[in-house]
Structure 1
């Protein structure tokens, strides 16, 4: 079930999923019709995201809305996207950048709170 804590994770989930899809912040902002600064504020939970904007983001990333609310669903979906994007010969440990690993760890810490 969802509670208010999931709302605090939406921004970090947006960032994680955007990075898993290898979409730059600038490109995402242009595609959803906002400034890069506003998207950065959303991803860092300095601004609240409305449902209309969340729908646009979901459409760009081609993901279900639930991944923004549930960190475990975001991790699973992001992992699937990273596996699709990574060449099959590539070592799975090399499929993630250092920044992506940091994001994963941050999301895992948030989900334990």
Structure 2
């Protein structure tokens, strides 16, 4: 399940950036114009987001969009 691992690692990366910025899921959702449950789904690896939502998240987190995609595919995310 490479896809599931990728989504999980991406979600963990988004969460790390969000926490580093000091934002709650609710704050990030409001800044990005997305629903909090959508943010939660991303962070849990349950959402395969669109390019436009990636750009919204990048703007809300005040980082370049490419930084959101710069995560280690070999990282141990605790899943098998």
Residue pair 2:4, 2:45 contacting (<8 A) in 1 also? no
Q: CA RMSD, aligned part only? A: 2.5
Residue pair 2:11, 2:44 contacting (<8 A) in 1 also? yes
Within 5 Å, which residues of 2 pair with 1:9-88?
Answer: 9-71=9-71
TM score, norm. by length of structure 2: 0.74
Q: Using a 3 Å threshold, how does the CA distance of structure 1 residues 49 and 26 change in structure 2: closer, same or farther?
A: same
- Alpha-carbon separation, structure 1, partners of 2:4 and 2:47: 15
**Uncovered stretches (5+) of structure 2, i.e. residues with no partner:** none
More helix by share: 1
Q: Using a 3 Å threshold, how does the CA distance of structure 1 residues 61 and 23 change in structure 2: closer, same or farther?
A: same
Structure ranking higher on relative contact order (CA contacts 8 Å, 6+ apart): 2
TM score, norm. by length of structure 1: 0.55
